[in-house]
A and B are shown apart, each in its own frame.
Chain A
Amino acid sequence: MFRQDGKRFVLVCFGILLLGALGYATDNWLDIAVDGGDLSTLNPYFANTTVDRSVVHKAYNALIRYKLGNIVEFEPDLAESWEVSSDGKVWTFHLKKGVMVHDWTNPETGEHHPSYELTAEDVVHHFQIAADPNQSLNASAFKGMTFKAVDKYTVQFVLEKPESANLFLPKVADYMTGLIVPKKPYEDLGPDIMKWMVVGTGPFKFKEYRAREAYVLESWDQYFRGKPKLDGVTIWYVPDLNARKLGLMKGDYELIEGPPSQPWVEEMRALPHTVVDVFGPGERVVFFFTATMEPFTDPRVRKAVLYALNREELAASLGPDITEITYSFVPSSLPGGLSKEEIAAWDPDLLYETNIDKAKELLAEAGYPDGFKTMTICSERGQYLLPTQNFAEQLRRIGIDVEIQIVDHATHHHLIREKLDVSPIILYVCWRPNADVLLTQWFYSKSAVVVGESPIQNYTRLGLVDVTGDGVVDSIDPLIEAARAEVDPCEQAFYWKLANLKLLDWAVCWPACIQLFTWARNERLHYGYDLVADLTLSPRITEQTWLEQ
């Protein structure tokens, strides 16, 4: 009898395992594991973390979009064409017909709302919200603009001052507040529900949100580019890298977010049926010198530091496959950025090719023949810590001892943005979409931390202080403003290049390199385009994305 019971027990156990395995069988559904505990906000007027974008970009569209795999050129999205008036003040967009908004059910009232066609009224409503500082993160981008529905399918943006295509088009493209929230769902759901529920026109629509576990989207049959090849996508919030990796190996996930780490890339490449994507735009690694803190007030000290540093060495330590070297504050991949050759042609000295003797000479001239001790506040994240450790190690050669004070990432942000002169050296790792945003956030006088009119991240307080020691306030404000007012893209880029050269000349920062994004996927997954770079900061999943069966 006991033997019979034993057999039954084994059979039941086997059945349980089989049932579980069947439950896990995947079909045409894509499972993505992202590095995060949960979403922050999916309200497109505020969503900007990589984790949130991974949902938002699947559910919403913009008037135009960056070409797939490209971060500079645009192509139509909701608009089929657009034009600008001769004075550069009126931009007109002609909408595609038959673009359908997802149907949705209000989770509070239970009322179901059918799909409807997106029109100019939705677009105008969206940008009116986007321009309201109380309802939008990026309202300043739309300052002085009015929005008009000329007819059902035509929208006009009327600007106070003309703007070049370089500056205007990114604002209405699929990046941040350019993603259009249709009017009716926004009014029905309100900003609170839209924190976690997405209703747009994109290839995937809301199915389910399991807080701190997963976000489920299903394919939108009426998507204007055609029904998606996938049945749906689940974005799993998996903060543990190892869990993501094991999930990929096991087949629970087809796509996982990786860290910017060379060993991880090599480890994943060695796995069978696994493809590693290393792609841009990546995150710029830039060290800023607080030119108001001793001894960095002396330009000779800052230049000595630049001569002591070696970009190739830093890139090698971070991983040659995942790092690209940069020479100007605005990277050369963006209009207004400078390549090594361009800088060399202008003034080879501005490249600060590594020269330890010259660095020591400059330090001695500045009164520090034996070097000095300084510090930096650094985030605990690997993408901050590893470059900082290498930076400190390199400076040891000229006697500069950099004490690294490690804090958690949120604290790092809080300290460097809300305190004045908190750290003589500040590393910032990030991407921004164009030269104007980059130069404005970090070097425009109004952006000076704490004391600026609209404080952002100008730690050096450039534009308010003298950084060259000649008794005159140094500023690139005129160049930033001239570029903003310029409608000719070439002229505009020229102003930005001049601003970059000034920054190099004043040695206020060390633009070191770009850390590329690393994701791994099962070879069954095909994006449907060549992933070179994407402003969603993750592999874009489109209606063309498919899973090999």
Chain B
Amino acid sequence: MLGYVIRRILLAIPTALGVLTVIFIVMRIAPGDPAEVILGEYASQEAVEALRKELGLDQPLWKQYVDFVGGLFKGDLGKSPINGQSVSLLVARSLPYSLELSLAGIGLGVLFGLPMGILAAVRRNSFFDYASRVFSLLGLSFPTFYLGVLLLLLFGIKLNLFPVVGGGDLSNIADNLYHLFLPALTMGLIMMAYVSRMARSSILNVLNEDYVKTARAKGLRERAVLYKHVLKNALIPIVSIVGVYSVVLIGGTIMVELVFSRPGMGKMMIGAMKQRDYITIQSLMVIYAGLVIIVNLLTDLTYGFIDPRIKYD
């Protein structure tokens, strides 16, 4: 098991390096000079050249790349050429907001989506089943940013229950949760739709298996059949979909943070992109890639807990 985890982590390094390299190259070859963006429309050519030199943009690409990768290994993400702030500090300040949003979204999605899917499958063709299917369809159809705006209008403006901007104070749990609720609900509703749909279809498949019929024929109670025989076997595809959509959800935080104006990595990414702050963008991409790799790793490891037949050789 430990060997497997180490192997997966080692395999993740070239993936992360590949992502980093692609991002680095794309940022450098994209037209639009950071120095021009910083200095704005008034800048003379001399001023732009002077700033390019100051930012190290006049250095050969390979040197800029080596410096950046070297910095990463030392845990130094560099300084934003735009505002002169340490990117590590910026990330440290914004990462908790993105992380809590992703976790809350995934948590809400699994917590409510899984029971909803199970119930819909067990009570197939009932009113609840139809209602949950309609809900899933809506959830799958709504883009996160649109759903976010609708929730803002309803809960933030009409009912005046929740704030519409900001992430709250991290040191104040109440304030933080108060600000987290609507963005987490936005992401959670989408996740819930995916999870409930997958749970329903997966359980329906298992319900028709022979071993389920055998269990029932043995006279087991329906609850025992469901929990011991059906759910355990249906969980593998559900965990897969949770893993896949958790990754999607992590990317989705960018739009949600923008809509709710949360000071997380997504908002930071959009700002950095607008300003051609390539150092910040590179760093954020590495962190996003890292999060995706961690989620994939956790998903793989979860299989083993659910199904002991899966070996990590």
Chain A 182-216 interface 0/1 with B at a Cβ cutoff of 8 Å (1 = within): 00000000001101100000000000001111000
- Which among B43, B93, B178 is the interface contact of A20 at CB below 8 angstroms? B178
Please tell me if the beta carbons of B42 and A48 are within 8 angstroms of each other in the complex. Answer: yes
B108 at the A interface (CB under 8 A): no
Question: Interface on B for A, CB 8 Å cutoff?
Answer: 30-33, 36-47, 50, 80, 82-85, 89-90, 93-94, 149, 152-153, 156-157, 160-166, 168-169, 172, 174-175, 177-179, 258-261, 263, 267-268, 270-276
* Distance A41 CA – B82 CA, assembled complex (angstroms): 7
Please tell me if the beta carbons of A211 and B261 are within 8 angstroms of each other in the complex. Answer: no
Please tell me if the beta carbons of A252 and B44 are within 8 angstroms of each other in the complex. Answer: no
Query: Which residues from A are CB-within-8-Å of B274?
Result: 36-37, 239
- Which among A20, A133, A238 is the interface contact of B174 at CB below 8 angstroms? A20
Please tell me if the beta carbons of B174 and A37 are within 8 angstroms of each other in the complex. Answer: no
- 9 more contacts with CB within 8 A, not counting A133-B47, A410-B33, are A16-B174, A17-B178, A23-B175, A36-B271, A40-B82, A137-B42, A212-B267, A250-B163, A250-B165
- Which among B33, B93, B166 is the interface contact of A211 at CB below 8 angstroms? B93
Decide: A242 near B82, CB < 8 A? Known: A40-B38, A49-B40.
Answer: no
Ordered by A's residue number, 10 sampled pairs between the chains whose C-beta atoms are within 8 Å are A19-B172, A40-B275, A46-B47, A211-B80, A212-B268, A246-B165, A247-B165, A250-B164, A413-B32, A415-B31
Query: Which residues from B are CB-within-8-Å of A482?
Result: none
- Which among A41, A138, A418 is the interface contact of B42 at CB below 8 angstroms? A138
In the complex, the chain B residue whose C-beta lies closest to that of A431 is: B41
Please tell me if the beta carbons of A211 and B85 are within 8 angstroms of each other in the complex. Answer: yes
In the complex, the chain B residue whose C-beta lies closest to that of A176 is: B42
A243 at the B interface (CB under 8 A): yes
CB distance from B137 to the nearest CB of A (A): 25
Count A/B pairs, Cβ under 8 Å: 171
Nearest 10 A/B pairs, CB to CB:
A37-B271, A20-B178, A410-B32, A213-B263, A243-B261, A411-B31, A246-B164, A19-B174, A195-B84, A247-B165
- Which among A38, A411, A455 is the interface contact of B32 at CB below 8 angstroms? A411
CB distance from A549 to the nearest CB of B (A): 20
A237 at the B interface (CB under 8 A): yes
Please tell me if the beta carbons of B263 and A239 are within 8 angstroms of each other in the complex. Answer: no
Query: Which residues from B are CB-within-8-Å of A249?
Result: 157, 164
Please tell me if the beta carbons of A252 and B163 are within 8 angstroms of each other in the complex. Answer: yes
CB distance from A294 to the nearest CB of B (A): 24
A407 at the B interface (CB under 8 A): yes
* Distance A37 CA – B276 CA, assembled complex (angstroms): 11
Please tell me if the beta carbons of A38 and B82 are within 8 angstroms of each other in the complex. Answer: yes
Which residues from 206 to 254 on chain A have a C-beta closer than 8 Å to any C-beta of chain B? 210-213, 236-240, 242-243, 246-247, 249-250, 252-253
In the complex, the chain B residue whose C-beta lies closest to that of A24 is: B163
Max count, chain B CB within 10 A of own CB: residue among A140, A212, A249: A212
* Distance A250 CA – B90 CA, assembled complex (angstroms): 28
A456 at the B interface (CB under 8 A): yes
Query: Which residues from B are CB-within-8-Å of A243?
Result: 164-165, 258-261
A26 at the B interface (CB under 8 A): no
Max count, chain B CB within 10 A of own CB: residue among A21, A36, A137: A137
Query: Which residues from A are CB-within-8-Å of B174?
Result: 15-16, 19-20
- Which among B45, B82, B161 is the interface contact of A454 at CB below 8 angstroms? B45
Which residues from 268 to 312 on chain A have a C-beta closer than 8 Å to any C-beta of chain B? none
Query: Which residues from B are CB-within-8-Å of A238?
Result: 165, 261
Decide: A37 near B275, CB < 8 A? Known: A212-B90, A242-B149, A407-B31.
Answer: yes
In the complex, the chain B residue whose C-beta lies closest to that of A52 is: B40
Query: Which residues from B are CB-within-8-Å of A246?
Result: 149, 152-153, 156-157, 164-165
In the complex, the chain A residue whose C-beta lies closest to that of B166 is: A252
* Distance A456 CA – B166 CA, assembled complex (angstroms): 40
Please tell me if the beta carbons of B47 and A137 are within 8 angstroms of each other in the complex. Answer: yes
Please tell me if the beta carbons of A410 and B36 are within 8 angstroms of each other in the complex. Answer: yes
* Distance A133 CA – B165 CA, assembled complex (angstroms): 41
In the complex, the chain A residue whose C-beta lies closest to that of B31 is: A411
Query: Which residues from B are CB-within-8-Å of A240?
Result: 258-259, 261
CB distance from B171 to the nearest CB of A (A): 12
A414 at the B interface (CB under 8 A): yes
In the complex, the chain B residue whose C-beta lies closest to that of A20 is: B178
Decide: A212 near B165, CB < 8 A? Known: A133-B47, A240-B259, A411-B30.
Answer: no
Please tell me if the beta carbons of B40 and A48 are within 8 angstroms of each other in the complex. Answer: yes
CB distance from A233 to the nearest CB of B (A): 16
* Distance A19 CA – B64 CA, assembled complex (angstroms): 48
A325 at the B interface (CB under 8 A): no
A39 at the B interface (CB under 8 A): yes
Please tell me if the beta carbons of B32 and A408 are within 8 angstroms of each other in the complex. Answer: yes
Query: Which residues from B are CB-within-8-Å of A414?
Result: 31-33, 36
Query: Which residues from B are CB-within-8-Å of A408?
Result: 32
Which residues from 136 to 175 on chain A have a C-beta closer than 8 Å to any C-beta of chain B? 137-138, 140
